[in-house]
Structure formats: C-alpha cells, structure tokens
Amino acid sequence: MTETRFHTLTYGRRIAYRYAPGDGPALVFLPGYMSDMAGSKATAVFDWAKAQGRECLLLDYSGCGESEGQFADGTLTRWRDEVAALVVALCGPKVVLIGSSMGGWLMLLAALDMGERVQALVGIAAAPDFTDWGYTAEQKLQLARGEVILEANSYGPDPTPTWPVFWQDGEAQRLLHAPIAITCPVRLIHGQADADVPWETSLRLAGALRSADVQVTLVKDGDHRLSRRSDIALLLRTLEMLP
C-alpha cells in the first residue's frame, strides 16, 4: 500500500492519510467510531482504486490511528472539518464519500458541507443519529452530567468509551428528524444480522434523503462489520456501478 503521509491543518494538528492519484471522482473512505484507515474495507477500496486507476484517499481522524490528537477530544464536527480540509488539499473537483458505521453519519455531514463537490455517497451499516437511538435514558443522563460511558466492546478487550463532548456534539448534528438536503446518488448496504446498528436505520435514512436515486441493499446474514470476502465484493461492485 502507498505509504502514510501527513497533512498539517491550519491549527497545527497532523492528520495521517494515504493517497493514490488517478481518474476521478476521488473515492474517500470514512472509517467508523474508533476505527482507522488500516481496516479491511478501507484497504480493499484503496487497493481496488489503485488497480482501476482511480483517485482514492484514506485518512485517520485526529486521535485515531496514526493521526495526532486525543480520541477523547474527537467530535463529528471536528472530524467533518478534517475530512473537508484533506479533500480540498488533496483531491480533484469531484468525490465519492464512502462511510462505514459512524463514518456513514460523517459522510452525510461532509456532503452537506461540501455540496456539489460530492458526486455520490455509499454507506456501509450507516449509523446517523446514534447518539440518540444508541443510548439508554440513563446513559444520556450520565453523559449530560459530564460522565464518560464505558460499554462492552465486541471487537476487542478494552471497553468502548463515549465522552460527553462527542455525545453533545452528536446530539446537535442529528439528521433523521427532517428531510436531508442531499440530492446526489446514494447507495446504502446493511446487514440484517447487525447487532450494533439496526438495519432499519438505512431505510429511515433512505426515506429522509431528498435524492430520488437511493438504493438500499440488505445482506440477510451480514453483521455490522460487513468485512467478509463476499461483503467486500458487494461493496466494490457497488462502487463500480455508480453513475
């Protein structure tokens, strides 16, 4: 894989990225919560893009992977701005945003921010508004009091933390309660065996988007990660068939 490089933002943080030049629109992969650009889906997209001669950008949000910063300081607003800054600095005039889990929420926020520059969106178990539906009433009270929430992690030995600053910012960035002013083509892939993000979330998102060109693909036995060989093949076919 192309070596990791660093882009220094105007306020000094260094964001790790991998970039492959090529024909556009550029494919930009947005990882999920506590994930990074070394994940299997991100690397599969990058390798496929290079083989196809497509422009592609992977990145680690601040506090994640190889980027500078503390994860505890991360918010959707901060990470959206980092995505936009790297797209402006590195990519051509058109991009396709690919968002996995929380990255699916982030791709929507980035698309609203970047407007016509975004040619299409591809969500993988997209999780918009999970600060609302993903926590109990008691957990929300704890977060509102400034307490950190620790939950069991199905993907590793350490618990998954939620910091109040992330939760509060997420509550202000909810989208599903109103029409979402995105009109580009959107493809949503979701596993019906997803134990983390209900697959109905993708149907709610499809209904909220203003775009008439929205397709939802449900994988009956697919889990949240959708990282099996067959799942990744479906993702790459979806990218190949975008208008």
CA neighbours within 13 Å on the CB side: how many for 106? Answer: 27
For range 167-190, the mean pLDDT: 98
Rounded to the nearest integer, the mean pLDDT of the chain is 96
pLDDT tens column, 30-59: 999 999 999 999 999 999 999 999 999 999
Q: What is the pLDDT of residue 153?
A: 83
Residue 1 has pLDDT above 70, yes or no: no
What one-letter code names the amino acid at 158?
A: D
* DSSP H stretches of helix in 8-75: 40-52
Tokens matching residue 167 = 């939760």
Tokens matching residue 87 = 């797209």
Which of 101, 129, 190, 231 is catalytic? The answer is 101
Q: What is the pLDDT of residue 11?
A: 83
Under CATH, to which class is 5-129+177-240 assigned? alpha beta
Residue 156 has pLDDT above 80, yes or no: no
Residue that is written with structure tokens 């889906």 in the block: 41
Confidence category of residue 12, pLDDT binned at 50, 70, 90: confident
What one-letter code names the amino acid at 95?
A: V
- In the chain, the percentage of residues whose pLDDT exceeds 70 is 100
For range 199-227, the mean pLDDT: 98
Q: Is 211 tagged catalytic?
A: no
Which of 60, 169, 194, 231 is catalytic? The answer is 194
Confidence category of residue 184, pLDDT binned at 50, 70, 90: very high
Residue 155 has pLDDT above 80, yes or no: no
pLDDT tens column, 94-126: 999 999 999 999 999 999 999 999 999 999 999
Confidence category of residue 6, pLDDT binned at 50, 70, 90: very high
Q: What is the pLDDT of residue 152?
A: 86
Contacts of 17 (CB under 8 A, 6+ apart): 4, 5, 6, 7, 37, 57, 58, 59, 60, 86, 90
Q: Is 7 tagged catalytic?
A: no
All structural domains of the chain with their residue ranges: 5-129+177-240
Which of 62, 129, 190, 224 is catalytic? The answer is 224
- Sign for the pseudo-dihedral over CA of 144, 155, 78, 97: negative
What's the pTM value of the predicted model, to 2 decimals?
Answer: 0.97
Instruction: Compute the residue count for the chain.
Output: 243
Q: Is 224 tagged catalytic?
A: yes
